[in-house]
Chain A
């Protein structure tokens, strides 16, 4: 659907409940929670899945060095349909179906990148990336330093992650593992929360001269939002203020940004003004924006989907301590996934990840 955003934005999109090939959204969010296109700017409504595909298409047209490789990404279009139609448009040379060889998919991407290509590799689920960990964390991430700056590894590895907070597909297909990669110097880690950000950040990731781990939350593939018609690229390494506020800062990423935005809307009626910081680049972390917001509000809630222990929430809270301790008016509250492999039965998943009500509760508590 292509249209121009009307001045008053009367036709706010509703979230699609179309299921992706694995997992459907059970906790749909109203898309007008996050508006990123100014009134009057020509825009189109797209899902994250469509936005990622469009970013790939635009970059492949722009630069012959960009190509895709991964399992079942050709005619089949990938496990989540992201690359659908790209095979027909660009052919088997630039949309390469690979064997099930995660380590070599990434290693070959590294080699191709070293000789001037810009590969975009797809690892179907982040859970499978353990098989590629040596190539990602020991090779691609370290080559620039180990060679004293001779090497440049401009690849993107796209991986689907998360999804526990909605519909579990059990322990080996539901994890959120941004921290595995955020801990490795030399990598950049991106986790978009909206179609707009997915498009702008993926294009930036492809153009970046470093290895970028690009994580796509499975629940968000079907989420729709307005994306500008005109080409745009977003900066890596910056947080995004998704909503400005004065009383409480919620720091969140990925799907949790939507919970934060929903919670902000709910407590608004109670007179609480919430600022939502979207950590859409997990690494390198934009500590300045976090510190600035925490100094302004003095009250902070951190929310992320990975397991609580040693997760991103601990890191963000520590940044707040370092940057804004003397401004804090209440202890930081942390909401995160429980420290467990993801079970299958829906009844077992209840309460394993933060929900909107938890975020609302945390905001109220931090205001006490």
Chain B
């Protein structure tokens, strides 16, 4: 295995651990009453966002959902400014105007988290249109959950991207639940990637617990998009290990079901592979974990110590 491969694997692991530790810290702050609204954990789905974003360039764009801490971190956002945003601080990416559900980090190519389910799809399609019209070889990605696949946005957006051969990738992260509603109860097709055939584009389904599988599939789709061959629907199959939001009672699913799915937790699974299949050293992996731990502690400190936005600026940023 080359040095490049080792670096790639470690970076993949680093980003997944960073998302996990960031969210555990955010949930902890929420439980202490320091997050004034709510947080929607991505725990269990880290491999999906990381696998996709590792296949992107810095100047490619992603648009997310209400559950997008992971997408932002995977795309390279700073965890301190993200945590500050969750705490509603002036140092947050959105100056405390967005909060957990709307983190956008334009400097890293994160167009923003759009919390009306499915609404980010047409916007990401439009960004792809802009790239194509200007002859830029950039790619635009929309992350959505399974809940979005029955919205008009999904159908309209994929269709438009398809007919105009836009450099677009729709990542449908099937975590099995739209709040309490299991995907099987609201969708007849078993394989959501089959939906792609309705738009005449490729549909690919991968194990969303496996960052390498996601990365390989995303790389192919991104190359295709960048090459002017049009969009792809990429379905990553995983599971939402936490409730819809932190502390949600989860009365609609059995604890045994969640316990069973915890065995698929992508982070310990990938750790074992790094050690056994790819022969990385325990030291290297431990170093990543402790560095990330230090970074997240620092992010929390930065967020807590940051000032709230000045009430006198409440009417800023309405018009450009």
Check A144/B160 contact, CB under 8 A, given A110-B126, A111-B123. Answer: no
With the chains together, A210 CA to B318 CA distance in Å? 9
Chain A residues with Cβ below 8 Å from B123 are 107-108, 110-111, 114, 135, 139
B102 touches A147 (CB 8 A): yes
B124 at the interface (CB under 8 A from A): yes
A103 at the interface (CB under 8 A from B): yes
Chain A residues with Cβ below 8 Å from B119 are 107, 134-135, 138-139
B320 touches A147 (CB 8 A): no
A330 at the interface (CB under 8 A from B): no
Chain B residue nearest to A121 in the complex (CB): B126
Minimum distance in angstroms from A61 CB to a CB of chain B: 16
B104 touches A111 (CB 8 A): no
B318 touches A144 (CB 8 A): yes
A74 at the interface (CB under 8 A from B): no
Chain A residues with Cβ below 8 Å from B316 are 149
With the chains together, A151 CA to B110 CA distance in Å? 11
A209 at the interface (CB under 8 A from B): yes
Minimum distance in angstroms from A101 CB to a CB of chain B: 4
B195 at the interface (CB under 8 A from A): no
With the chains together, A101 CA to B158 CA distance in Å? 11
With the chains together, A185 CA to B320 CA distance in Å? 12
Chain A residues with Cβ below 8 Å from B125 are 104, 107-108, 111
A173 at the interface (CB under 8 A from B): no
B156 touches A103 (CB 8 A): yes
B104 touches A150 (CB 8 A): yes
B102 touches A146 (CB 8 A): yes
Chain B residues with Cβ below 8 Å from A114 are 111, 123, 126-127, 130
A316 at the interface (CB under 8 A from B): no
Minimum distance in angstroms from B32 CB to a CB of chain A: 25
Chain B residues with Cβ below 8 Å from A210 are 319-320
Chain B residues with Cβ below 8 Å from A93 are 133
Chain B residue nearest to A155 in the complex (CB): B126
Interface residue total, chain B, C-beta cutoff 8 A: 44
| A131, A138, A143: most-surrounded residue (chain B CB, <10 A) | A143
Chain B residue nearest to A100 in the complex (CB): B156
A104 touches B157 (CB 8 A): yes
Against A, the Cβ 8 Å flags (1 = close, 0 = not) of B41-69 are 00000000000000000000101000000
A217 at the interface (CB under 8 A from B): no
B206 at the interface (CB under 8 A from A): no
A234 at the interface (CB under 8 A from B): no
B153 touches A108 (CB 8 A): no
A111 touches B126 (CB 8 A): yes
B116 touches A107 (CB 8 A): no
Chain B residue nearest to A108 in the complex (CB): B126
B93 at the interface (CB under 8 A from A): yes
B98 touches A146 (CB 8 A): yes
Minimum distance in angstroms from B64 CB to a CB of chain A: 12
A143 touches B318 (CB 8 A): no
CB within 8 Å of A: which B88-106 residues = 92-98, 102, 104-106
How many chain A residues sit at the interface, stated as a range, is 35 or more
B140 at the interface (CB under 8 A from A): yes
B102 touches A115 (CB 8 A): no
A186 touches B156 (CB 8 A): no
Chain A residues with Cβ below 8 Å from B122 are 103-104, 106-108, 110-111, 135
A10 at the interface (CB under 8 A from B): no
B252 at the interface (CB under 8 A from A): no
Chain A residues with Cβ below 8 Å from B97 are 145-148
Minimum distance in angstroms from B33 CB to a CB of chain A: 24
B27 at the interface (CB under 8 A from A): no
A99 touches B160 (CB 8 A): yes
A67 at the interface (CB under 8 A from B): yes
With the chains together, A146 CA to B317 CA distance in Å? 8
B121 at the interface (CB under 8 A from A): yes
Minimum distance in angstroms from B170 CB to a CB of chain A: 13
With the chains together, A116 CA to B133 CA distance in Å? 11
A107 touches B61 (CB 8 A): no
B156 touches A148 (CB 8 A): no
Minimum distance in angstroms from B156 CB to a CB of chain A: 4
B302 at the interface (CB under 8 A from A): no
A227 at the interface (CB under 8 A from B): no
Chain B residue nearest to A284 in the complex (CB): B319
Minimum distance in angstroms from B162 CB to a CB of chain A: 10
CB within 8 Å of A: which B132-173 residues = 133-134, 140, 152-153, 156-157, 159-160, 163
Choice from B98, B106, B121 contacting A107 with Cβ under 8 Å = B121
Chain B residues with Cβ below 8 Å from A116 are 130, 134
CB within 8 Å of B: which A143-171 residues = 143-154
Chain B residues with Cβ below 8 Å from A144 are 317-320
With the chains together, A108 CA to B92 CA distance in Å? 27
With the chains together, A185 CA to B319 CA distance in Å? 8
With the chains together, A144 CA to B105 CA distance in Å? 13
Minimum distance in angstroms from A211 CB to a CB of chain B: 10
B320 touches A115 (CB 8 A): no
Chain B residues with Cβ below 8 Å from A94 are 133
Chain B residue nearest to A237 in the complex (CB): B319
Check A117/B130 contact, CB under 8 A, given A103-B122, A149-B317. Answer: yes
A112 at the interface (CB under 8 A from B): yes
Minimum distance in angstroms from A274 CB to a CB of chain B: 33
Chain B residue nearest to A93 in the complex (CB): B133
CB within 8 Å of A: which B268-320 residues = 316-320
Choice from B95, B102, B160 contacting A149 with Cβ under 8 Å = B95
What are 27 sample pairs from A and B whose C-beta atoms fall under 8 A apart? A98-B160, A99-B156, A99-B160, A101-B156, A101-B159, A107-B122, A110-B122, A111-B127, A111-B140, A113-B130, A115-B130, A117-B130, A138-B116, A139-B119, A139-B123, A144-B318, A146-B112, A147-B97, A147-B102, A149-B95, A149-B316, A150-B105, A153-B320, A186-B318, A186-B319, A209-B320, A284-B319
Closest 6 CB pairs of A and B: A111-B126, A107-B122, A148-B95, A108-B126, A148-B94, A104-B156
A residues at B contact (CB < 8 Å) = 67, 93-94, 98-99, 101, 103-104, 106-117, 119, 131, 134-135, 138-139, 143-154, 185-186, 188, 209-210, 284
B residues at A contact (CB < 8 Å) = 61, 63, 92-98, 102, 104-106, 111-112, 114, 116, 119, 121-131, 133-134, 140, 152-153, 156-157, 159-160, 163, 316-320
